[in-house]
């Protein structure tokens, strides 16, 4: 039985992940932690969690817990991974994996030396709509893939992020998040494309702040190439007009294309030469991380199969993001 403790039990844990740790087969949520103790206590009472802490060290060293879910902003991922690994606990960390590629490499090495597994919450690798896209690609339904085009164009107050208060929003503070909204959102997109086409081996780009609402970049343009030879390009702008907003990814092949969104729907549109457009729709799980969490729990419990999202795969995404927005000095 995998017995979890959560560090940083905030909004993401309310529905996306916390209940999933309770509902996954072979899994229990034993304790939660938040520095503001009454909020940790409130979460525990509402979700039926036996214990709560306001001190991360106490949760990490709880002998009843054998796996730690680090759900803090990115600046907490590396230090808490160090402590959890030292205690011999499995580590499951929120995305992006860390603020920098170097932090990711250190986390991988620390967990390797401690002989503890390291997983990252890139849960789209386990969702039905994204598995359908992978099936279409693997079966060459659109022929040989030529390139991918990722577009996320949003206003200065985007509707697809967790917070709208840019003054208090850690997502736009590079010291906490590593960069801006690009790291928060593009990490999901680039990680999934890694799942489809293999590691990105070449990437470049540029980033700039146009809106002036925060210190990080609000516009990033990039090109990248996967080890399979597939090419990609992306534009992430959080400073466009309301009537210019779009969030869509298109995969172009020799016989057609696939269109889908990451954040604004679960549909997949298929266009194949000589055929009518086909749309696939999917019902998402109530707790969006549950399929991935189940794969982690099954692996830890010795069942067949492996989780598709590990520290090794997630670190590659941090590397690619640094190349694209020129944060190679971190």
- The mean pLDDT values, 10 residues at a time, for the chain of 330 residues are 96 95 98 96 97 98 98 97 98 98 98 98 98 98 98 92 60 94 97 98 97 94 98 98 97 98 96 98 97 98 95 98 77
Q: Residue 317 domain-assigned?
A: no
How many domains in the chain? 2
Are 268 and 239 members of one domain? Answer: yes
Contact 28, 19 (CB under 8 A): no
Q: Are residues 144 and 183 in the same domain?
A: yes
**Is 324 contained in some domain?**
no
Same domain, 159 and 189: yes
Same domain, residue pair 219 and 103: no
Residues 133 and 113 in one domain: no
Same domain as 225, residue 279 = yes
Res 24: pLDDT: 98
Cα separation of 139 and 133, whole Å?
10
- CATH number of the domain that residue 11 is part of: 3.40.50.720
CATH at residue 240: 3.30.360.10
Residue 44 lies in a domain: yes
pLDDT on residue 159? 83
Give the per-residue pLDDT at 165.
41
178 and 301 in a common domain: no
Output the six-digit token pair for 43: 């979460």
Q: What does the alpha-carbon distance between residue 139 and residue 6 come to, in Å, rounded to a whole number?
A: 39
Burial (Cβ within 10 Å: 0-12, 13-18, ≥19) of residue 132: middle
| Shared domain check, 299 and 213 | no
**270 and 303 both lie in a single domain:** no
pTM of this structure: 0.95
Same domain, 35 and 140: no
For residue 220, give its domain range: 128-284
Calculate the alpha carbon distances from 41 to 18, 54, 55 in Å. 14, 9, 12
* Other Cβ atoms closer than 10 A to 231: 16
């Amino acid at each position: 039985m995998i017995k979890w403790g959560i560090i940083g039990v905030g909004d993401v844990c309310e529905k996306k992940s916390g209940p999933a740790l309770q509902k996954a087969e072979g899994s229990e949520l034993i304790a939660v932690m938040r520095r503001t103790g009454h909020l940790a206590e409130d979460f525990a009472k509402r979700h039926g969690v036996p214990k709560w802490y306001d001190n991360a060290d106490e949760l990490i060293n709880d002998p009843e817990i054998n796996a730690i879910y680090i759900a803090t902003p990115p600046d907490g991922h590396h230090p808490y991974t160090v402590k959890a690994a030292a205690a011999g606990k499995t580590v499951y960390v929120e995305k992006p994996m860390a603020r920098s590629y170097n932090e990711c490499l250190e986390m991988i090495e620390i967990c390797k030396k401690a002989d503890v597994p390291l997983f990252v919450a890139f849960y789209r690798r386990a969702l039905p709509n994204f598995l359908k896209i992978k099936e279409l690609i693997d079966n060459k339904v659109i022929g040989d893939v030529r390139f991918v085009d990722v577009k996320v164009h949003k206003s200065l107050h985007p509707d697809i992020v967790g917070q709208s208060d840019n003054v208090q929003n850690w997502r736009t503070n590079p010291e906490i998040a590593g960069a801006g909204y690009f790291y928060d959102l593009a990490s999901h997109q680039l990680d999934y494309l890694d799942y489809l086409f293999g590691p990105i081996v070449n990437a470049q780009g540029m980033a700039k702040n146009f809106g002036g609402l925060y210190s990080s970049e609000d516009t990033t343009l990039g090109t990248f190439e996967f080890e399979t030879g597939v090419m990609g390009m992306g534009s992430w702008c959080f400073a466009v007009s309301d009537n210019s907003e779009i969030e869509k990814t298109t995969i172009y092949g020799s016989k057609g294309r696939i269109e889908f969104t990451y954040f604004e729907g679960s549909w997949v549109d298929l266009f194949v030469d000589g055929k009518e457009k086909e749309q696939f729709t999917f019902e998402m799980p109530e707790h969006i991380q549950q399929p991935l969490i189940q794969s982690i729990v099954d692996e830890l419990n010795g069942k067949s199969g492996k989780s598709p999202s590990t520290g090794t795969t997630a670190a590659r995404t941090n590397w690619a993001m640094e190349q694209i927005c020129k944060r190679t000095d971190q």
